[in-house]
Amino acid sequence: MTCGVPTSNLLGPAEGHGFVQLMQQLPQERLIIALQAQAVIERALDETAKYVKSRNAFGKPLLDFQNTQFKLAEVKTNAVVGRVFCDYCINLLLAGRLDAATASMAKLWLTDRQCEIVDECLQLFGGYGYMMEYPIARMWTDSRVQKIYGGTNEIMKVLIARSL
């Protein structure tokens, strides 16, 4: 079945170039996915920090345990590094210089970190982390797809390798 679309509803500068236009926007799409990953990383850190301050085990808050401190120190470090990389990529995009390899690096690195960090944070929630009443459970469930859409992370590695 064919459907006519008026010329006034044309997206982009020329008819018949939709796929080319889509391909030209892939770096921006991948940056958006990276930014989503960064937002989840920061939220997971915030939710987990609140939880470990309020939850006690063996008579003291979970945050007082060295393992918890070390895990959250690693998460915080990754969150800050991720934010700096996101800001760098946004500046490149605004300047019209965000290339496919850099956008691919952002998507690859941040979505990998998202999955690792949300998993670490869920672990600190213990059994509660697996219950959907806690936001961390939903973040964990939703995180995995980030490494798939917008081009799988394996494809990101191919694109990055091409830039060498």
The confidence band for 2, taking pLDDT boundaries of 50, 70 and 90, is confident
Residue 17, sorted as left (phi over 0), alpha (psi -120 to 50) or beta, turns out to be alpha
- Both tokens of 20, joined, read 């080319």
Instruction: Pick the range with the lowest mean pLDDT from 10-14, 29-33, 142-146.
Output: 10-14
Please name the residues in contact with 120: beta carbons below 8 A apart, sequence gap of 6 or more. 71, 74, 75
- Is 57 in a helix, a strand, or coil? strand
Domains of the chain, first to last: 25-162 (1.20.140.10)
Q: Tell me, what's the pLDDT at 19?
A: 58
Q: Catalogue the active-site residues.
A: 29
> pLDDT tens digits, residue range 65-95?
999 999 999 999 999 999 999 999 999 999 9
